[in-house]
Structure 1
Amino acid sequence: MNDGVVTVAVITYNDAEHVAEAVASALAQGEAVGEVVVVDDASTDDTPRVLERLAAAEPRVRVVRRAANSRGCGTPRNDGIDAARSPWLVFLDSDDVLPPKAVDALLAVALRHDADVAAGLCVRRELHSGREIPWQEQLFTRESVHDGVAGRPQTLWDTLSVNKIYRRDFLLSRQIRFPDGAAHYEDFVFTARVYAARPRLAVTPETVYVWNVRYGTGRASISLRRDRIQNWKDRVAAHQQVLEIMRDRGDQELLIAAQTKFLEHDLAVYLSELPRRASEYQDVWWRISREHVRPFAAEAVRRATPAARWRTAVLLGRERKAANIRRLAELAADPPRLAPPYAGDTRRPLWDEADSVSDGMYEIVLDGLAEAPIGQLPLYVAADVRAGRRLVLELRLADLYGRTGHAGPEHATVELRHRVRGTTHRYETAWEAGPSGHGGWRATVTVDPAALCEPGAITTWDAWVTLTFRDGEPVTTPLRAESGLRRLVHVGRRGQVLLLQPHATNSGCLAVRVADGLAGAGRVLAGRLARRVRH
Structure 2
Amino acid sequence: MNSSNLPTVSVVVIAYNDAGLVGEAVSSALAQGPVVGEVIAVNDASSDGTARVLDELASAHPRLKVVHRTENSGGCGTPRNDGIAAASGRYVLFLDSDDILPPDAADALVRTAEKHRAPVTVGAAVRRELPQHHDVPWMPGLYTPGDVIERPADRPELVRDTLCVNKLYERAFLEEHGLRFPDGRFVYEDFVFTSRVLAAAPRIAVTGDLVYVWHVRRAAAQVSISLDRKDVGNWRSRIEAHRTAARTLAAASPVLGSACQVKFLEYDLRMYLRELGANPDYRAAWWTLTREYVDTFAEADVEAAAAHARWIVRVLRATATPPADVERLTRLAAEPPRLLPPYAVGAAGEPVWSEELPVGLDGLTALPVEELPVTVDAEPAGRGAVRIRVHDLYGRLAEAGPQTARLSFMPRAGGEPVLARPVELMADRDGGWTAVLPFRLADLAVTGRRQGLRRMQAWNVGVGVHCADGSSVFTSLRPRGRLLRRRALPSSRYGVLLAQPYRTGAGALALRLAPGAEGALYLVRNRLHRARAARAAG
How does the TM-score come out when normalised to structure 2? 0.91
Change (3 A) 1:460 1:154: same
Partner of 1:428: 421
Partner of 2:224: 221
Tell me which of 457, 466, 470 is aligned to 1:459.
457
The answer as to whether partners of 1:429 and 1:444 remain within 8 angstroms in 2 is: no
Moved more, 474-483 or 234-243: 474-483
The number of residue pairs the alignment matches comes to 523
Q: CA RMSD in A?
A: 2.3
User: What are the Cα deviations for residues 92-126 of structure 1, in whole angstroms up to 9, with x where unaligned?
Assistant: 01111111221122222222222221112211111
Say which SS state the counterpart of residue 152 (structure 2) adopts: coil
The answer as to whether partners of 1:411 and 1:428 remain within 8 angstroms in 2 is: no
Change (3 A) 1:87 1:526: closer
> Take 1:16 and 1:470, find their aligned partners in 2: how far apart are those partners?
60
Shift of 1:159: 0.5
Moved more, 262-271 or 513-522: 513-522
Partner of 1:195: 198
Partner of 2:245: 242
1:329 and 2:327 correspond? no
> Take 2:55 and 2:415, find their aligned partners in 1: how far apart are those partners?
43
Moved more, 36-45 or 445-454: 445-454
The answer as to whether partners of 2:7 and 2:110 remain within 8 angstroms in 1 is: no
> Take 2:74 and 2:368, find their aligned partners in 1: how far apart are those partners?
50
Say which SS state the counterpart of residue 211 (structure 2) adopts: strand
The answer as to whether partners of 2:119 and 2:170 remain within 8 angstroms in 1 is: yes
The answer as to whether partners of 1:374 and 1:403 remain within 8 angstroms in 2 is: yes
User: What are the Cα deviations for residues 185-211 of structure 1, in whole angstroms up to 9, with x where unaligned?
Assistant: 111111111111222222222221110
One-letter amino acid matched to 2:50: T
Tell me which of 251, 267, 270 is aligned to 1:268.
270
Identity of aligned residues (%): 45
Partner of 1:167: 170
**Where does structure 2 lack aligned partners over 5 or more consecutive residues?**
none
The answer as to whether partners of 2:332 and 2:338 remain within 8 angstroms in 1 is: yes
Equivalence map 1:406-421=2 (5 Å): 406-420=399-413
The answer as to whether partners of 2:455 and 2:518 remain within 8 angstroms in 1 is: no
Tell me which of 349, 359, 367 is aligned to 1:372.
367
Partner of 1:393: 386
1:481 and 2:483 correspond? no
Change (3 A) 1:112 1:416: same
1:283 and 2:284 correspond? yes
User: What are the Cα deviations for residues 473-518 of structure 1, in whole angstroms up to 9, with x where unaligned?
Assistant: 2222222223321223333579933322111112211111122345
> Take 1:245 and 1:41, find their aligned partners in 2: how far apart are those partners?
28
**Where does structure 1 lack aligned partners over 5 or more consecutive residues?**
355-360
One-letter amino acid matched to 2:477: L
User: What are the Cα deviations for residues 252-283 of structure 1, in whole angstroms up to 9, with x where unaligned?
Assistant: 22221111111111101011122x23111111
Partner of 2:345: 344
> Take 1:526 and 1:344, find their aligned partners in 2: how far apart are those partners?
49
Say which SS state the counterpart of residue 380 (structure 2) adopts: strand
The answer as to whether partners of 1:383 and 1:482 remain within 8 angstroms in 2 is: yes
> Take 2:298 and 2:532, find their aligned partners in 1: how far apart are those partners?
50
User: What are the Cα deviations for residues 308-364 of structure 1, in whole angstroms up to 9, with x where unaligned?
Assistant: 11111111123444544212212112222211111228972222224xxxxxx6x42
Shift of 1:529: 4.4
> Take 1:134 and 1:413, find their aligned partners in 2: how far apart are those partners?
26
The answer as to whether partners of 2:6 and 2:110 remain within 8 angstroms in 1 is: no
> Take 2:517 and 2:103, find their aligned partners in 1: how far apart are those partners?
40
1:79 and 2:82 correspond? yes
Say which SS state the counterpart of residue 263 (structure 1) adopts: helix
The answer as to whether partners of 1:10 and 1:23 remain within 8 angstroms in 2 is: yes
Moved more, 134-143 or 90-99: 134-143
Change (3 A) 1:531 1:366: closer
Shift of 1:15: 1.6
1:446 and 2:444 correspond? no
Change (3 A) 1:29 1:461: same
One-letter amino acid matched to 1:292: Y
1:54 and 2:53 correspond? no
Moved more, 489-498 or 174-183: 489-498
Moved more, 117-126 or 450-459: 450-459
The answer as to whether partners of 1:149 and 1:155 remain within 8 angstroms in 2 is: yes
The answer as to whether partners of 1:116 and 1:166 remain within 8 angstroms in 2 is: yes
Moved more, 186-195 or 417-426: 417-426
Equivalence map 1:15-54=2 (5 Å): 15-54=18-57
Shift of 1:287: 0.8
Moved more, 67-76 or 371-380: 371-380
Partner of 2:398: 405
Say which SS state the counterpart of residue 139 (structure 1) adopts: coil
Change (3 A) 1:323 1:33: same
Tell me which of 174, 182, 186 is aligned to 2:189.
186
> Take 1:424 and 1:168, find their aligned partners in 2: how far apart are those partners?
43
Partner of 1:357: none
> Take 2:88 and 2:267, find their aligned partners in 1: how far apart are those partners?
37
One-letter amino acid matched to 1:254: L
Shift of 1:401: 0.5
Tell me which of 454, 468, 471 is aligned to 2:469.
471
The answer as to whether partners of 1:4 and 1:31 remain within 8 angstroms in 2 is: no
Equivalence map 1:49-128=2 (5 Å): 49-128=52-131
> Take 1:26 and 1:278, find their aligned partners in 2: how far apart are those partners?
42
The answer as to whether partners of 2:409 and 2:419 remain within 8 angstroms in 1 is: yes
